[in-house]
């Protein structure tokens, strides 16, 4: 049974404050890159509808590759460390963000686009000032899915010397330290729940602001 003393001992022995910072650093970089690339891809396939199916199908294929296998495939290119972990996070997370962005832009109610045309907005201005804002609740939903993907894949980074909380889990498994496995596992899960809850609040606020059209 875990006690405060046991948790404190594991925390100090495995430098979990430093590991948590490493974990959140990789997670933040991966999520930020995923949002930038995912939204850009979603906007691109909205503007070029013929590319939508091929791009979404390709991203679906990437999604079917097991996460550990994808990290291993990236090792010869990016070497050991945070590189392959962050790259795998991004590759997994592009799909939900791009798909939700595309779906959101495509399904904005016609009444809003008619108003944009009536007041003389160009297609580009209508995209930036009407379609993207109205799509934000759905885009936020895609980002929330990507957040969970990133948190899970970053944890596997411990297998390729990326640091983070995955290192503590890996050491615990190798040395059969049940307390380390439990503390690191529970803390990683708690971080994921907290971050998902925060993302859920943002998504709710966006729904209240822009509706669900």
The pLDDT tens digits of the residues spanning 21-68 come to: 999 999 999 999 999 999 999 999 999 989 999 999 999 999 899 988
pTM: 0.90
The answer to whether residue 2 is domain-embedded is: no
The answer to whether residue 93 is domain-embedded is: yes
Determine the structural domain holding residue 163 and report its residue range: 13-211
The answer to whether residue 4 is domain-embedded is: no
Domain count along the chain: 1
The answer to whether residue 1 is domain-embedded is: no
The answer to whether residue 7 is domain-embedded is: no
The answer to whether residue 139 is domain-embedded is: yes
The answer to whether residue 176 is domain-embedded is: yes
pLDDT tens figures, 125-156:
888 788 888 889 999 999 999 999 899 899 99
Alpha carbon of residue 138 to chain centroid: 14
Residues 98, 197, 130: CA angle, nearest 5 degrees: 40
User: Which one, of 120, 95, 81, 123, lies nearest residue 35 by Cα?
Assistant: 95
- Which of 14-28, 119-133, 188-202 bottoms out in mean pLDDT, i.e. has the lowest? 119-133
**Cα separation, 176 vs 45, whole angstroms:** 48
| Residue 212 binned pLDDT confidence (cut-offs 50, 70, 90) | low
Q: In the prediction, which pLDDT does 131 show? A: 85
Q: Residue 24 is part of a domain; what is its CATH number?
A: 1.10.3720.10
The answer to whether residue 8 is domain-embedded is: no
């Amino acid at each position: 049974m875990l006690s405060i003393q046991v948790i404190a001992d594991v925390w100090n022995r495995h430098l979990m404050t430093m590991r948590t910072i490493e974990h959140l650093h990789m997670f933040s970089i991966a999520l930020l890159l995923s949002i930038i690339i995912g939204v850009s891809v979603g906007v691109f396939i909205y503007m070029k509808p013929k590319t939508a199916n091929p791009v979404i199908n390709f991203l679906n294929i990437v999604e079917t590759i097991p996460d550990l296998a994808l990290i291993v495939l990236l090792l010869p290119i990016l070497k050991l460390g945070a590189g392959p972990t962050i790259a795998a996070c991004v590759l997994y997370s592009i799909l939900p963000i791009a798909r939700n962005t595309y779906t959101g832009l495509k399904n904005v109610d016609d009444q809003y686009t008619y108003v944009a045309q009536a007041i003389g907005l160009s297609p580009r201005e209508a995209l930036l000032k009407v379609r993207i804002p109205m799509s934000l609740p759905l885009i936020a939903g895609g980002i929330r899915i990507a957040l969970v993907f990133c948190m899970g894949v970053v944890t596997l980074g411990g297998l390729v010397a990326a640091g983070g909380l995955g290192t503590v889990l890996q050491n615990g498994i190798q040395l059969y330290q049940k307390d380390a496995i439990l503390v690191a596992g529970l803390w990683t899960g708690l971080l994921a729940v907290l971050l998902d809850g925060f993302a859920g609040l943002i998504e709710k606020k966006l729904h209240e602001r822009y509706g669900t059209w």
